[in-house]
């Protein structure tokens, strides 16, 4: 995994997560609880308190060992969210799952679809993965619009799939393969 990659399209830049980013991320995550909390993964029986520094350390460990791709979304030199790929497997599976969030102040400006497209293209072209998957709660209309814009294929519903906001939640599963995205996922946004 390239330690210093930078992905850019228009006003959107993605760069690898760094330990020092935890304060900026914590500032957004704490100040925008009503916006973000309904979609956040939780640990069954675990604390509901956010440990952003611990989360960043965990993501960086996974990034280093190649099982994750941890990035921050930067607009106007300011961190505004994250796109991460997890469960990255190579060989006969050759896939990864994308998750993302953005500050409410930057929502609705095509930043998140652009960031998801950039990471998808990176996973296909630089990491040489075959498949990218995104799991979305059926109630998350904003995220459903993102996969629709990017042309991800709906594959079905996984019942009680991920522990979110204190309970096991159903998720709609969407995917793309490298063959389906030959011209680049970013091109689906008209760039």
Q: Residue 4: what pLDDT?
A: 73
Domain 7-189 falls under CATH 3.40.630.30? yes
- Phi (first) and psi of residue 44, to 5 degrees: -55, 125
Copy the structure tokens of residue 66.
């190649």
Domain ranges for the chain: 7-189
Q: Residue 2: what pLDDT?
A: 55
The β-bridge partners of 32 are: none
The β-bridge partners of 70 are: 84
pTM: 0.95
Q: What is the mean pLDDT, run by run of 10 residues, along the chain of 191 residues?
A: 80 97 96 93 80 94 95 97 97 97 96 98 97 97 96 97 93 98 93 60
- Separation of alpha carbons 12 and 169, rounded Å: 31
């Amino acid at each position: 995994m390239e330690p210093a990659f930078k992905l850019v399209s228009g006003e959107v830049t993605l760069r690898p997560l760094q330990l020092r980013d935890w304060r900026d991320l914590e500032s957004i995550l704490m100040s925008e609880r009503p916006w973000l909390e309904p979609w956040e993964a939780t640990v069954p029986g675990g604390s509901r308190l956010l440990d952003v520094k611990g989360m960043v350390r965990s993501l960086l460990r996974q990034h280093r060992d190649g099982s994750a791709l941890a990035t921050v979304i930067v607009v106007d030199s300011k961190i505004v969210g994250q796109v991460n790929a997890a469960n990255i497997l190579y060989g006969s599976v050759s896939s990864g799952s994308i998750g993302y969030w953005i500050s409410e102040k930057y929502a609705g400006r095509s930043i998140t679809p652009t960031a998801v497209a950039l990471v998808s293209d990176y996973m296909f072209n630089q990491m040489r993965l075959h498949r990218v998957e995104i799991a979305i709660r059926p109630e998350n209309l904003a995220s459903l619009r993102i996969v629709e814009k990017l042309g991800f294929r709906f594959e079905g519903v996984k019942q009680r799939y991920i522990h979110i906001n204190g309970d096991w939640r159903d998720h709609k599963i969407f995917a793309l393969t490298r063959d389906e995205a030959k011209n680049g996922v970013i091109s689906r946004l008209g760039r």
